[in-house]
Structure 1
Amino acid sequence: MIWATIAAALLLAGAATGVRVLREYERAVVFRLGRLLPLRGPGLVVLVPLADRMVRVDLRTIALTIPPQEAITRDNVPVRVNTVAYFKVVDPVRSVNEVENHAVATSQLAQTSLRSVLGRHDLDALLAERDRLGESLQKVLDEQTEPWGVKVDLVEIKDVEIPEAMQRAIARQAEAERERRAKVINAEGEVQAAQNLRDAARTLSADPAAIQLRYLQTLLELGGEGRSTVIYPVPVDLPASSPGTHGVLPAALAAAAAHVAHGCTCPRERQGAGT
């Protein structure tokens, strides 16, 4: 009776150790006496004690932080790059049979591939086109991990560190570029101003009276503050030689002469003097 009880207890213990429960995102790769059995899971998995050996495989996406890698770009600039790769197991059987540890193998492969990809691009491309470089690295890794049953979904370049001396050189380059743009904009402004002056000269030359009125208007603007004496030469025969200005120019000349002679005749200054 005692031996029967002991035997029953051993059988129950063996049956308990042979029962596994797998979650929805897990699969079981089972070997019976070293021979591969069909894939199992999720749910309840019953194993034969002492004969079956099970390996759990997680099918969720894994975020793998690749250690910082130092590389030299195509234009001979040393850089230090931080990268993260996202991958998942799509074939649990191959991920167990074809590679010892698929996570470690993927990490090592990503490190070597990253240095190789960076060496084929310039520093400007590395800084400005991180997405494109990440896609290139993702394709390289995906092709090499496909026999392992691993799918690389995304590779992101998080940070690019460059030497301090190179940072100063890049800053000087950016400053020189801004100065070049400023000079180009200034030159374009000079060209537009010259064109506008040419158009204004053509407009004024169509009527000599317009030139004379512009002279007088400039005289009034210069003497408006009343702080200095402005000598503005006007030919005596200029009004007489200009047709259609017998009534306009003499009055304008008289007003300008009175303005200059009295020094300050603007309304604002008269009001200030009265107060």
Structure 2
Amino acid sequence: MMIDYAIYLILAVFVILFLSSAIRILREYQRGVVFTLGRFTGVKGPGLIILIPYVQQMVRVDLRVVVQAIPPQDVISRDNVSVKVNAVLYFRIVDAERAIIRVEDFMAATSQLAQTTLRSVLGKHELDEMLAERDRLNSDIQEILDQQTDAWGIKVTNVEIKDIDLNENMVRAIAKQAEAERLRRAKVINAEGEQQAAEKLVEAGRMLSAEPQAMQLRYFAALHDIAGERTSTVVFPLPVDLLAHLQGQPGADK
């Protein structure tokens, strides 16, 4: 009797071990790459998966978007400026079979490829382009990575350059350049203002010369403005006709 109980117990333990080895449950975002005697036999999931113990093995694959930080890279720009650049990489697996079979470690492979691509792409641009055209550089890096990782069943969804670190000497040089640019713009604006003022003065002079009475009215307006100010200096403008008459008087006596 005891022997029968022992046999039943052994069978129960065997069944439990068999079921625990055969049954797998995959979540909605997971897939299982199944190998039968070492050969690929399919991708299964999500849900309940039943395997043949010791004959079939399964590798779990996560299909969610992976966020991976690209460590700072030493980049020399096209205008020979040394900078440190880091970025963030977003990618996901779209083909679980290729991600497991065609590359040993898709995480490490994608990380190394992203680092080399970041240095290669940024090295073809000048520093001003790195600082002002990040969106275009992000798109270029993402496109190159996506083309190269397609064979691994990986889709690179986005690349974002985070920081571009410059040494102190370069920061001071950029500050001087920005200051010189602001001074140049100020001088150009001042020159344009002088040009416009000169054009308006020439136009006003032509209008006043056409009507001599208008000049007298301008004299009276100037006197009114001076009288309204608290100043000890008073200027009395003389009519131009009177000055011309005085200048011609000595000639008349002779």
Q: TM-score, normalised by structure 2?
A: 0.88
Q: Which residue of 1 aligns with 2:12?
A: 8
Aligned partners of 1:23, 1:158: CA distance in 2, in Å?
33
Residue 21 of structure 1, CA deviation: 0.3
Aligned partners of 1:202, 1:226: CA distance in 2, in Å?
33
Q: Percent identity?
A: 56
Residue 59 of structure 1, CA deviation: 0.7
Q: Which residue of 2 aligns with 1:189?
A: 193
Q: How many residue pairs align between the two structures?
A: 241
Match of 1:159 among 150, 156, 163: 163
Matching of residues 1-275 of structure 1 within 5 Å: 1=4, 2-225=6-229, 227-230=231-234, 232=236, 234=238, 238=242
Tell me the secondary structure at the aligned position of residue 86 of structure 2: strand
Tell me the secondary structure at the aligned position of residue 39 of structure 1: strand
**Is contact 2:78–2:124 with CA below 8 Å preserved after alignment?**
yes
Aligned partners of 2:66, 2:230: CA distance in 1, in Å?
82
**Is contact 2:216–2:239 with CA below 8 Å preserved after alignment?**
no
Residue 227 of structure 1, CA deviation: 3.6
4+ aligned runs moved over 4 Å, structure 1: none
Moved more, 118-127 or 13-22: 13-22
Moved more, 222-231 or 105-114: 222-231
**Is contact 1:223–1:229 with CA below 8 Å preserved after alignment?**
no
User: Alpha-carbon deviations, 1:16-39, whole Å to 9, x = none?
Assistant: 222110011111011121111111
Q: Residues 34 and 223 (structure 1 numbering): CA distance in 2 closer, same or farther, change over 3 Å?
A: same
Q: Which residue of 1 aligns with 2:252?
A: none
- Letter matched to residue 97 of structure 2: V
Aligned partners of 2:19, 2:118: CA distance in 1, in Å?
49
Aligned partners of 1:235, 1:44: CA distance in 2, in Å?
108
Q: TM-score, normalised by structure 1?
A: 0.82
**Is contact 1:21–1:43 with CA below 8 Å preserved after alignment?**
yes
Aligned partners of 1:107, 1:59: CA distance in 2, in Å?
17
Q: Residues 19 and 61 (structure 1 numbering): CA distance in 2 closer, same or farther, change over 3 Å?
A: same
Aligned partners of 2:230, 2:149: CA distance in 1, in Å?
87
Consecutive unaligned residues of structure 2, counting only runs of 5 or more, are: 246-254
Aligned partners of 2:58, 2:241: CA distance in 1, in Å?
116
Aligned partners of 1:237, 1:198: CA distance in 2, in Å?
21
Residue 93 of structure 1, CA deviation: 0.7
Tell me the secondary structure at the aligned position of residue 191 of structure 1: helix
Tell me the secondary structure at the aligned position of residue 44 of structure 2: coil
Aligned partners of 1:236, 1:165: CA distance in 2, in Å?
63
**Is contact 2:219–2:237 with CA below 8 Å preserved after alignment?**
no
Aligned partners of 2:16, 2:229: CA distance in 1, in Å?
112
Aligned partners of 1:229, 1:137: CA distance in 2, in Å?
72
| CA-atom RMSD in angstroms | 2.1
